[in-house]
């Protein structure tokens, strides 16, 4: 059974940092592209970042470029999102999501981890 489990969310002050993790199981993690997608409270979905299966290709939304860094450790079946210079508008539930058939649709999602940026 495919499982994605996020962790690392919490309350952080504006300007602070946080590192999210996503533990994958039930599939060959090293062969799948992965993404982070977020959802602010009561709002719609926003794609945040993409990483290829090898980690060699990365993309970011303009809203997080230069502040967030996506990475992965295929030996540990884990995906990460390092978030720096956090702003109030980064407050959201962050989901990790697996690419479907290498086409940038998302067929499996984690349960999400809430990041709250507030003083």
Partner 1 sequence: DIQMTQSPSSVSASVGDRVTITCRASRSANNWLAWYQQKPGKAPKLLIYAASSLLTGVPSRFSGSKSGTDFTLTITSLQPEDFATYYCQQADSFPLTFGGGTKVEIK
Site residues (CB under 8 A) for partner 1? 35, 44-47, 50, 59-62, 95, 100-101, 103-107, 109-112
Q: How far is the CB of 4 from partner 1 (least distance, A)?
A: 9
Give whichever of 59 and 87 is closer to partner 1, judged by the CB atom.
Answer: 59
Q: How far is the CB of 13 from partner 1 (least distance, A)?
A: 27
Residue with tokens 């980690």, as numbered in its chain:
55
56 close to 44: Cβ distance less than 8 angstroms: no
Give whichever of 1 and 101 is closer to partner 1, judged by the CB atom.
Answer: 101
Instruction: Return the C-alpha torsion angle 73, 107, 70, 91, nearest 10.
Output: -130
Give whichever of 1 and 62 is closer to partner 1, judged by the CB atom.
Answer: 62
Residue 66 DSSP symbol: T
Q: How far is the CB of 97 from partner 1 (least distance, A)?
A: 8
Alpha carbons 43 and 97: distance in angstroms, whole number: 18
């Amino acid at each position: 059974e495919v499982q994605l489990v996020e962790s690392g969310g919490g309350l952080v002050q504006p300007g602070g940092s946080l590192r999210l993790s996503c533990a994958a199981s039930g599939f060959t993690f090293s062969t799948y592209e992965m993404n982070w997608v977020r959802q602010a409270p009561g709002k719609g979905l926003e794609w945040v970042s993409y990483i290829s299966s090898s980690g060699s290709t990365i993309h970011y939304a303009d809203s997080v470029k230069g502040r967030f860094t996506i990475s992965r450790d295929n030996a540990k079946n884990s995906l990460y999102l390092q978030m720096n210079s956090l702003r109030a508008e980064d407050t959201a539930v962050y989901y990790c999501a697996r690419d479907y058939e290498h086409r940038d649709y998302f067929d499996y999602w984690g349960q999400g981890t809430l990041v709250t940026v507030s003083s």
